[in-house]
Structure 1
Amino acid sequence: MNLTVRNFPESCTEQQVRDFLKKELGHYASEVEVYEVGTPAVYAVVELDASVPYVGEVIARQVHALHMNGVALEASSSLFGDEPDKRQQQ
């Protein structure tokens, strides 16, 4: 199950985004990939270590309450990772 998190400040580095999400999501975040760093479209895809579908939705709602450098984050969960894989497009 994947969680897509958007609306990070453009000034954040890949490591800052990764560290923030790992700290906030704890053991639920098994892997964090960050894309389009340094652009207004920066987003992260978090592989969640959870087998129950509704857990992703609950986590997404909690992420909506988070702020990074004063910017409110947006999140959505998906069971099958419907985000395009940027590694394959490069």
Structure 2
Amino acid sequence: CHPCSLNGDWIDEPYMKNAYTADEETINRWIVNYIRHNLVSYDNFLGSIDGKVGSVEAYPEVKIAVLEKIANTYPKYKDECERQIFFVDFNADR
């Protein structure tokens, strides 16, 4: 027997509790990440350049380009995309 109720009356799984009680910022992060990883060829492209010369330098540029496209396509998630771009830029400079 699975420890969570289908109707949401009680939930024992930690990830389920997070899904039901997450704040809007967290949900927006999940949505942007879902779009990036599942609705575009982001992971496939990164996999195709993995190990090739320049792939490490290309990663932040690819991620930023995808996030910018998501922000333009889904304006509701523009702030989250910009937040993630800031952290890509911040980590690339380190």
Category of TM-score, reference length = shorter chain: 0.3 to 0.5
More strand by share: 1
The TM-score normalised by the length of structure 1 is 0.36
The TM-score normalised by the length of structure 2 is 0.35
Higher relative contact order (CA 8 A, sep 6+): 1
More helix by share: 2
Greater Cα radius of gyration, structure 1 or 2 = 2
